A = this chain, B = another copy of it.
Amino acid sequence: MIDFDFSIPTKVLFGAGKMDALMREKLPGKLALLVISSGSVVKERGYLARMENILKHQNIDYFIYDKVSSNPKKNEIMEAAQFARDNFCDFVIGLGGSSVVDSAKAIAFMARNPGDLWDYFVTGSGKGLPPKNPALPIVAIMTTAGTGSETDQWMVVTDDKIGEMIAFGVPSTFPTLSVMDIDLMMSVPPYLTAIQGFDAFFHAAEGFIAKIATPISEAFSLQILRLVNKYLPRAVANGNDAEARSNIALASMLSGMVQSTSSCTSLHAMDHGLTSNHLDLPHAAGLLMLSKSYFEFFSKYVPDRFIKMAHIIGGVTANLPEEEKPMEFVNQMVRLQKECGVDNLKMSDYGIKFEDMEQMARNAHQTMSNLFAMDRYSLSLKETVTIFEKAYK
Residue of A3, A12, A246 contacting most chain B CB atoms (<10 Å): A3
Contact of A4 among B1, B14, B215 (CB under 8 A): B14
A5 within 8 A of B: yes
| Cα–Cα, bound, A13→B253 (Å) | 23
Q: Which chain B positions have C-beta within 8 A of A11?
A: 5-7, 9
Which of A89-97, A216-224, A263-271 contacts the other chain? A216-224
Q: Which chain B positions have C-beta within 8 A of A242?
A: 1
| Cα–Cα, bound, A1→B250 (Å) | 12
Known A215-B223, A219-B222, A219-B254; contact A6-B14, beta-carbon cutoff 8 A: yes
Q: Which chain B positions have C-beta within 8 A of A8?
A: 8
| Cα–Cα, bound, A219→B258 (Å) | 12
| Cα–Cα, bound, A242→B2 (Å) | 10
Residue on B with the closest CB to A224?
Answer: B219
A311 within 8 A of B: no
Contact of A246 among B1, B16, B18 (CB under 8 A): B1
A227 within 8 A of B: yes
Please state if A13 and B9 are interface contacts (CB–CB under 8 Å): no
| Cα–Cα, bound, A219→B9 (Å) | 19
Contact with B along A184-221 (1 / 0, CB 8 A): 00000000000000000000000000000011101110
Residue of A11, A15, A216, A227 contacting most chain B CB atoms (<10 Å): A216
Residue on B with the closest CB to A21?
Answer: B5
Contact of A250 among B215, B227, B254 (CB under 8 A): B215
Please state if A18 and B2 are interface contacts (CB–CB under 8 Å): no
A243 within 8 A of B: yes
8 Å CB interface, A1-52 against B: 1-16, 18
Residue on B with the closest CB to A222?
Answer: B219
Known A215-B223, A215-B227, A250-B215; contact A1-B15, beta-carbon cutoff 8 A: yes
Known A7-B11, A11-B6; contact A1-B219, beta-carbon cutoff 8 A: no
8 Å CB interface, A65-91 against B: none
User: Nearest Cβ in chain B — how far from A344, in angstroms?
Assistant: 31
| Cα–Cα, bound, A227→B216 (Å) | 11
Residue of A11, A18, A218 contacting most chain B CB atoms (<10 Å): A11
Please state if A4 and B9 are interface contacts (CB–CB under 8 Å): no
Q: Which chain B positions have C-beta within 8 A of A250?
A: 2, 214-216
A277 within 8 A of B: no
Please state if B218 and A223 are interface contacts (CB–CB under 8 Å): yes
Known A216-B254, A222-B219, A223-B215; contact A246-B12, beta-carbon cutoff 8 A: no
8 Å CB interface, A239-277 against B: 242-243, 246-247, 249-250, 253-254
User: Nearest Cβ in chain B — how far from A388, in angstroms?
Assistant: 34
Contact of A247 among B18, B215, B247 (CB under 8 A): B215
Contact of A14 among B5, B9, B15, B18 (CB under 8 A): B5
| Top 5 A-B residue pairs of the complex, sorted by shortest distance between their CB atoms | A3-B15, A219-B223, A7-B11, A6-B12, A219-B219
Contacts A1-B16, A2-B249 aside, 13 further interface pairs with beta carbons under 8 A come to A1-B243, A1-B246, A2-B14, A2-B15, A3-B16, A4-B14, A5-B12, A6-B11, A7-B12, A9-B9, A218-B223, A219-B223, A219-B254
Residues of A whose CB lies within 8 Å of any CB of B are: 1-16, 18, 214-216, 218-220, 222-223, 227, 242-243, 246-247, 249-250, 253-254
6 contacts between A and B (CB under 8 A): A1-B15, A1-B243, A3-B14, A6-B14, A216-B253, A218-B223
